[in-house]
Amino acid sequence: MAKKVVASLQKGGGKQHTKVIKMVKSPKTGAYSFKEEIVHNDKVADFFNKK
């Protein structure tokens, strides 16, 4: 039931954003970590191109 309440509060703006996940390798240890962000659909390419 909670899902219906939360879904009804959204105004449709969620479709304009995407959750992106990028693997980042640590220069010191060589271990991988994940960087997660929620960005606007127009900025997805910029997220993956920046270091």
pLDDT of residue 4: 57
Q: Write the pLDDT tens digit of every residue in 1-51.
A: 555 555 555 566 678 889 999 999 999 999 999 999 999 999 999 988 986
Model-level pTM? 0.60
CB 17 within 8 A of CB 38: yes
